[in-house]
Amino acid sequence: LPKAARVSHLKSIMCLSFYELVGASSRDVVYLALPLYHMAGSLLGVVGCLGIGATCVLKEKFSASQFWADCRAEGVTVFQYIGELCRYLVNQPQRPGERQHGLRLAVGSGLRPDVWRSFQQRFGPVRIVETYGMSEGNVTLFNYTG
């Protein structure tokens, strides 16, 4: 079961600017397959999309084999991940058209350096912004430089 975390109204309001901080805008389409009971999915994902007026593609569960087809079909430009999701994508068999997508930004946490390199080499020049924060914490760190 998910653990309960007390989240203030102020923190919720601050999450409205999450995607703006990482370079997204109202023109973006955000792919979100994270559970909404987790802060990354609900506050950063959904509330972050509301904050910039972006379209949010909510998936019931993540499918590595369907991911790129979903991105093309929905016009996805931003992908919010938890580190292992990128590893699942890199570990999929190669398919034609893997670089034919509009994804320009991936943002999340827990991405291993080797997977980061493999992801960009295989799928193209997607900008990756790695973040670190805690539900109960007051500070979030961003890696803007890679």
Task: Tell me the pLDDT tens digit for each residue of 9-18.
Answer: 887 888 888 8
Q: Across residues 105-121, what is the average pLDDT?
A: 94
DSSP class of 42: I
Q: Where are the alpha helices (DSSP H) in 16-145?
A: 18-21, 39, 48-52, 67-74, 83-90, 113-123
Structure tokens at 75: 């016009």
Residue that the structure tokens 């493999």 belong to: 118
23-44 tens-digit pLDDT: 899 999 999 999 998 888 888 8
Alpha carbon separation from 20 to 64, 75, 139 (Å, rounded):
27, 19, 17
One CATH from 3.40.190.290, 3.90.1150.10, 1.10.3720.10, 3.40.50.980 for 9-143:
3.40.50.980
Write down the pTM of the prediction.
0.88
Mean pLDDT of the chain: 88
In single-letter form, the type of residue at position 5 comes to: A
The domains of the chain are located at 9-143
- Residue 3 clears pLDDT 60, i.e. is over it: yes
- Residue 52 clears pLDDT 90, i.e. is over it: yes
* Sheet with 105-109, edge to edge strand ranges: 55-58, 29-32, 78-82, 105-109, 127-132, 141-143
